[in-house]
Amino acid sequence: MTRAVVVEDLRRVFGDVIAVDGATWGADTGEITCVLGPNGAGKTTTIECLEGLLRPDSGNCRVLGVTPWQAGAAHRARVGVMLQDGGLPQSVNAGRLMAHLARLHTADRAAELIERLDITPFATTPIRRLSGGQRQRVALAAALVGGPLVAFLDEPTAGLDPHARLEVWDLLRDEAEAGVGLVVTTHSFEEAERLAARVVILDRGRVVADGAPEQISGGGRLEDAYFSLTGGPRDR
Ligand SMILES: Nc1ncnc2c1ncn2[C@@H]1O[C@H](COP(=O)(O)OP(=O)(O)OP(=O)(O)O)[C@@H](O)[C@H]1O
């Protein structure tokens, strides 16, 4: 079976900084893979290679069997992307944006996602006027509106209030159950423990753990395993 996402011996440097240093891991459809790691561990750089926004210096990436930076429009329509800073146009409102994005895809989930993510109360407000959490919800809806087979979500619950976070977790579980492969970067152990079938921990550009959360934590807390694998807060 072709894996939804394959990262093979990936390496990407920026000048003197080695952002990703020979990382190998993968993710499957129908489940959530959470990618954790300290600031600067190489999570966003890896995800940007998988989205086709960056080319690695060496190694390989495949998404749905395709090399992302060589992929055409048909591939891009099957892949949802939520960037860390939202990457949203600022002067349109969420309702217009969702209607516009829906027209670019054959699937149209705009109305369903607006309802599900409780966007209606601010759907006519220009995006630049929205709160950080409201903008996050719009960015997530925009990533899922075309009904992707794989979605890359960079810290989708960062800055969300507890209610919105639970709504997003429910939505992501339902997406996975419907067969979507979700790759979610996060700094939340709770999020990884609650959502992930698989957890990948990066540290200094390398994979230091890859497996089911309970496998990595050995039946204890994921947080403890994370600190022991990444050196712990006092050692950094
Ligand atoms: N365009 C760039 N130019 C120079 N350095 C970069 C660039 N992009 C990333 N880096 C560096 O590469 C390293 C990895 O960054 P990356 O954003 O991938 O980390 P991250 O794991 O996503 O971190 P965070 O948890 O803070 O989002 C960092 O040291 C960062 O400063």
**15-19, 128-132, 157-161, 232-236: range with highest mean pLDDT:** 15-19
126 shares a domain with 15: no
Residue after which a domain boundary falls, among 103, 127, 147: 147
Expressed as residue numbers, the domain containing 135 is: 90-147
Q: Is residue 83 part of a domain?
A: no
Residue 229, judged by CB atoms within 10 A of its CB (0-12, 13-18, 19+), counts as middle
Residue after which a domain boundary falls, among 98, 124, 147: 147
62 lines ligand 1 (CB under 6 A): no
Q: How far is the CA of 20 from the centre of ligand 1 (A)?
A: 9
37 lines ligand 1 (CB under 6 A): yes
C-alpha to C-alpha distances, 211 to 68, 158, 184, 207, nearest whole angstrom: 24, 23, 15, 11
Q: What is the pLDDT of residues 171-227, one digit of tens each?
A: 999 999 999 999 999 999 999 999 999 999 999 999 999 999 999 999 899 999 999
DSSP secondary structure, 42-66, as one string:
SHHHHHHHHTTSS--SEEEEEETTB
207 shares a domain with 177: yes
- Chain-centroid distance of CA 50 in Å reads 10
Total tally of structural domains belonging to the chain:
2
215 shares a domain with 173: yes
160 shares a domain with 123: no
Q: What is the pLDDT of residues 46-73, one digit of tens each?
A: 999 999 989 999 999 999 999 999 988 8
61 shares a domain with 101: no
42 lines ligand 1 (CB under 6 A): yes
133 lines ligand 1 (CB under 6 A): no
156 shares a domain with 109: no
Q: How far is the CA of 40 from the centre of ligand 1 (A)?
A: 5
Q: How confident is the model at residue 236 (pLDDT cuts 50, 70, 90)?
A: low
Q: How far from each other are the two terminal CA atoms of the chain, in whole angstroms?
A: 40
Q: Is residue 194 part of a domain?
A: yes
181 lines ligand 1 (CB under 6 A): no
Q: How confident is the model at residue 167 (pLDDT cuts 50, 70, 90)?
A: very high
pTM score, two decimals?
0.93
CATH number at residue 226: 3.40.50.300
162 shares a domain with 70: yes
186 lines ligand 1 (CB under 6 A): no
Q: Whose CA is nearest to atom 30 of ligand 1?
A: 40
142 shares a domain with 34: no
Please state whether beta strands 32-36 and 198-203 pair in parallel, antiparallel, or not at all (unpaired): parallel
Global ipTM: 0.97
